[in-house]
Structures are given as C-alpha cells and as structure tokens.
Amino acid sequence: MTRTFWLAIALLIPGCKDLAHDNPLDPNNPDGKADQIVVVENYIIKNTKSGTVAPPYNQYSQDALYGLTDIYDERMLILEYHMIPVDTAYQDSLATADNEFRYVNEYQGGANRGFPHTFFNGKQKAIQGASNSDLVRTRYQAVLDSATAQKVGFFCYAEQSISGSMLTIDVQLVRYGTETNLEDVRIEYIVFENKGGSSQFTVRKILAPASASLPAGKIFEPPAKSVDIAGFDVSKTGVVVMIKDPTSKRVLQANLAVRRN
C-alpha cells in the first residue's frame, strides 16, 4: 500500500510540472499574449420624430457593422450610443445625456459634431460619416482586420449576474508574467440592451469607471459593480467591460461579460 502510494506520487509530480498554462486566465501562460478584442463605439442618431425623414447615413453605418459581426464574431464588440440631435428637425428617443457627455469629453476631440462617428478601440481611430453601406463597410473592415490581428499582454474576463433589478459585474484582469506592470488603467463598464432591429447594441447605462494597476504575473479583481436595470429586458441586457489608457483614451483590451444566470 505504502509503496503504491509513493509510486503514484512520484508519477504525479512530473505530471504537475508539465501542466499546460494555456488558459488565458493563467498569468503564467507562456504565450503571454491574448487576442485583441476590438470595441466599436458607434455614436449615431436614429430619427424617431414622426413626419420627418433623416438621411440614411447612420443606417449605412449600422448595416455595415452588423454585416461584419459574422466575420469578427467575438473579436468585435459593438456599442451604439444614441445622440441628441442638434437639428431640431430630428429626435432620437434612445439618446441620453450620458452618451452626450461621453462623446464630448472622451471622443469628439477636435472633430466637428456629426454622426455616424465610429471609434475603434477608443479615440485614436475613428471614421466619421457614411455615404453608402458597402463603401463604409470596406473602410471599417480595413480597420478591424488590422486591429483584430493584434495580440496584447493581458486578458479581461467579466461575468454578469442579475438579482431582481440589480445587475452585478465581476471582472478579472490578467497581466501575463512575460509583460511589465501595467500602471494606472481605467476600467469602464457599458450596459447595453438589444432592442431588436437596428438597435441591437443600444447603450443604456454608462457606469462610473474604476482605476487599476495590473502587476505582471497576477490576476487583478476590482470590486464588483452593480447597477439597477429596472425596465430593461434582462434577457437582452449585456455588459461590455473595457480597459482603457486614461491619457490616450485607447482601449487596451475588452470583453463581453458572460451571463452567470
């Protein structure tokens, strides 16, 4: 018995040593790189005012992005921020002041106000306007091909759980051991709802961001975030978590929260 026990231990020890560290949540993953997930933040106006018809530029943009979801699948996360029209000829019933604030303070920069205004992984790469779906799709695809081909030195994992009208988000950030420490990043939480049709990624709530520093070779877990989503269709509500450089406004990594319940 004793002999058999020690033999088994002797066999197990080298086996443990050779365990593959290919889990993206393993900070000792020897690959040290994760796929870059690209957040496409599309600032749009969809006219909901009866009796007026807006030019279809925003629809062109949305059609183009929706048509690309099959190509990039989980590597691309779309968020649609509905904006308040300056032109009183139009209205957008899904527009929010939070969306306005985010556009003006985080993304617009020196650009003139005009929608669609589409940002790829933050402020640095943007395409404004659309004159037809095919052309703008080609432009989007060129950006996405390049962005999704990147690898980054950390991984973001998020889960969402719902209790009553409260949505709670838990996040784990993994900075691989082969990288240097990542200081002073911002974690942003964007709640969206699939309202069907051409409103499948409608941003409903923008949570207060959190700050973090990611030591190499460690998993960082910020405190869970909760938000009241009363009135939302729970089954169609999701959360995108993105890690952003607060200075350049570049999205470093992101992910869609996995539904826990």
Partner 1 sequence: MFNRVMIVLALWAGCDSNGGGGCSSPVGDDATKPVIDEVKAVSSTVIAGDTTSVAGTARDLNGEMLDYVWSKSAGTFEGPLTNSSIIWRAPAQVGNKTVTLVVVNESGKSATKSVTIMVTNVPTPIVIIDYPTAADFIPSSAGTVNIQARITNTSDVDSAKCFIDGTFLAKLSNTQNPTFAWNVSGLSGPHRVTVQAWSDFAVPGQQKTDSAFVTVNIEGTIGKPVR
Q: Could you list the residues that contact partner 1 (CB under 8 A)?
A: 45, 47, 54-55, 57-58, 60, 85-90, 111-117, 127-132, 135-136, 139
- Closer by beta carbon to partner 1, 36 or else 61: 61
Element (H, E) at 165: none
Query: How far is it, in rounded angstroms, from Cα 188 to Cα 137?
Result: 27
Between 45 and 79, whose beta carbon lies closer to partner 1? 45
Query: Residue 19, class by beta-carbon neighbours within 10 Å (0-12 exposed, 13-18 middle, 19+ buried)?
Result: exposed
- Closest separation in Å from C-beta 53 to partner 1: 12
Closest CB to partner 1 among residues 115, 220: 115
Smallest CA-to-CA distance from 154 within 77, 250, 254 is with 254
* Least distance between partner 1 and beta carbon 85 (Å): 7
Report which residue type is found at 158.
Answer: A
Comparing CB distances to partner 1, the nearer of 40 and 240 is 40
Phi then psi dihedrals of residue 129, to 5 deg: 90, 165
Residue 98 Cβ vs partner 1, minimum distance, rounded to whole Å = 20
Least Cβ distance, residue 86 to partner 1 (angstroms): 5
Structural contact between residues 227 and 238, judged by C-beta atoms closer than 8 angstroms: no
